[in-house]
Amino acid sequence: MKRFLKIAAVLFVLLIGMVVLKTCDFGPPPPRPDLDLPLAPQMADPTSAPMDMNFPAVNPMAAQGVNPIPHGDPAQQDSTPLPGPLDKTRRLEDHEIAYQFLGPGHFGAFTSGEYADGRRVLWTNGVNGVFKLDYETYELIDHLPSDVADKWNEEWANKIIAKLDKNNGASALPTAVKSMMPLKSLSGVYTVVGANDWFYLAKKDGSIVAYGDETQGDAGSKIVEKEVFKLPADIAGASVGMNMTYDGWIVFPMEKGTIVAVSPDLTEYRSVRLKHADTEDTETRGVGYGWVRNSIAIDEEGGIYVASRNHMHKVVWTGDALSVDPADGAWTAAYRNGTEEGTGATPSLMGFGDEDRFVVITDGDIRMNVVLMWRDAIPEEWQQIDGAPSRRIAGQAPADMGNLKVQEIQTEQTVIVAGYGALVVNNTPRNTPFFMPNEGVGRGATIGPLGNNPKFQPYGVQKFEWNPNKRRLEKAWVNETISSPNGVPWVSTGSGQVYFIGARDNEWTLEAVNWLTGEPTFHYIMGAQKYNNMFSGPTIDEKGRVFVGAYYGRMRIQPDP
């Protein structure tokens, strides 16, 4: 009892402290130069945007499935030419959602190539270990358990979900935080499936582990560890992404500024330090706030695009080395950073072949801007944009969310790119309970576990479009009435839609919005917290089925014809 009273007293003091901090008047706020930036000009006709632009080349060294790499492909676009579902708004039947309990932390599922018998598998990693699912039946083939797999079991998960189904308001925040506690045990998030059907996983200790089939070529065989690569101690640390070059090397950034490439058989490595890593403070400022915070994009010519706290970098893979030398085509350019925390976005690539070619991020301003940078040589006649810190910046547009006129907005997502279109969503909760911080666990709990509550869920989706004739970034459309609380959207140019997990009336939905106009096309109602995607984004396969994470597992939306 005494222990309980001590804990209660500490919590009471912390609560009073939070109230004081949130209610005290500390004088006028500092100037906000980001609010003085001009908004993007309105696109004359959003429906005129081309839908037949080039997609990035298929990486022959990745598994030849629809989603072997996070964000779909090395360019990190989160888009596909494959058509997604087109339907009317309705509630899905139980059989239209294939669900598999796997435990916490399944943000992605990655597709193998086709086996000799025509089968495919899905590889996924979470807190409870590595799993292999049958691609068609969605049944579990094998599970390589982690040390905590027995702790975070289905009985525990069902109790959490039942509590949040009953109450998803502010008083449910302790349950919300408890529901995310297992994520601290997640050994790694970033994965790639190679053409050799090895499932590469970057672990928190800086190692790379490759898993595969016990019997080569047998999709139904058990999971075994194939190889392990451990970095030398002088560059080991937290990895914050993973991608694959077009000759099969696994590339990943370390949060303190080292870029590492490992051979497909995990026997060799190359590394390089990013520019400014030796002159800036590279110390981590909390979980998810390293000097490098997110993953990387890769192009067919060996360009590797990574953002540090103040700069965008192009590193070049020469085929045998990683180079930051401008003579090899490498460059570094500053972006705006009013928060001093840097971008939260994984870079994505726009434009291929003879199209205008950019790398796209959101910057670090308090009200973030969508930023396009020339990813090759800057055109000789190009003039530096007013308010842009680098001549390399081709477009810089505040994400104001239209009539919502947001003044504070940041994201932890990649910018969604299809053609010359770039889409961002508002992930800032409408409200944060007064006793919770606005960032970190406060934001995560309100847009994650409680993201289907209209009091908390953020609203707003905004699309920008590059105008190649006027050479400027324009605003295509804004939809202020729809919500994508916590997941990354996915574009299908085949059906002309952008799909994302939304929420309406305390239930989770799959939303389909017209990519050219921003008008809602339809939505599927899935249900309550069991169907919370918890920061996972949807992907689409050749049959128009939608794959996405669930609160404690994975699901596949397979609507009846």
Predicted pLDDT of residue 24: 53
Predicted pLDDT of residue 530: 98
- Distance, in Å, from the CA atom of 292 to the CA atom of 309, rounded to the nearest integer, reads 6
Q: Is residue 18 pLDDT above 60, yes or no? A: no
- Distance, in Å, from the CA atom of 259 to the CA atom of 170, rounded to the nearest integer, reads 41
Predicted pLDDT of residue 468: 98
What's the whole-number average pLDDT of the chain? 93
Q: Is residue 22 pLDDT above 70, yes or no? A: no
Q: Go through 474-499 and write b for each residue having 16 or more CB atoms within 10 A of its CB, e for each that does not.
A: bbbbbbbebbbbbbbbbbbbebbbbb
Q: What's 32-557's CATH class?
A: mainly beta
Q: Is residue 151 pLDDT above 50, yes or no? A: yes
pLDDT average, residue stretch 328-338: 98
Domain ranges of the chain: 32-557
Q: Is residue 559 pLDDT above 60, yes or no? A: yes
Lowest mean pLDDT among 11-25, 146-160, 237-251, 482-496: 11-25
| Residue 66 near residue 84 (C-beta atoms within 8 A) | no
Q: What is the pLDDT of residues 458-511, one digit of tens each?
A: 999 999 999 999 999 999 999 999 999 999 999 999 999 999 999 999 999 999
Q: Is residue 190 pLDDT above 70, yes or no? A: yes
**Nearest residue to 227 via CA among 217, 212, 214:** 212
| Burial class of 424 by CB neighbour count within 10 A (0 to 12, 13 to 18, 19+) | buried
Two tokens, residue 96: 């239209």
In percent, how much of the chain has pLDDT > 90?
86
pLDDT average, residue stretch 542-547: 98
3-state secondary structure string across 200-226:
EEECCCCCEEEEEECCCCCCCCCEEEE
Predicted pLDDT of residue 11: 38
Greater confidence (33 vs 442) lies with 33
The CA radius of gyration of the chain, in Å to the nearest whole number, is 23
Percent composition of the chain: helix, strand, coil (DSSP 3-state, to 5) = 15, 30, 55
| Burial class of 404 by CB neighbour count within 10 A (0 to 12, 13 to 18, 19+) | middle
- The pTM score is 0.94
Q: Is residue 442 pLDDT above 90, yes or no? A: no
Q: What is the pLDDT of residues 73-93, one digit of tens each?
A: 999 999 999 999 999 999 999
- Distance, in Å, from the CA atom of 479 to the CA atom of 490, rounded to the nearest integer, reads 16
As beta bridge partners, residue 193 has: 199
Band the pLDDT of 25: cuts 50, 70, 90. Answer: low
- Distance, in Å, from the CA atom of 85 to the CA atom of 88, rounded to the nearest integer, reads 10
Predicted pLDDT of residue 162: 98
Q: What is the pLDDT of residues 363-382, one digit of tens each?
A: 999 999 999 999 999 999 99
Lowest mean pLDDT among 361-370, 428-437, 524-533: 428-437
- Distance, in Å, from the CA atom of 386 to the CA atom of 401, rounded to the nearest integer, reads 21
As beta bridge partners, residue 372 has: 360, 395
Q: Is residue 5 pLDDT above 70, yes or no? A: no
- Whose tokens are 């060799």? That residue is 268
Q: Is residue 163 pLDDT above 90, yes or no? A: yes
Strands (E), 87-127: 90-91, 97-101, 110-111, 121-126
Band the pLDDT of 411: cuts 50, 70, 90. Answer: confident
Predicted pLDDT of residue 214: 98
What amino acid occupies position 298?
I
Task: Indicate the DSSP class of residue 341.
Answer: S
In percent, how much of the chain has pLDDT > 70?
94
pLDDT average, residue stretch 522-532: 98
Angle formed by the axes of helices 173-180 and 154-166, nearest 10°: 150
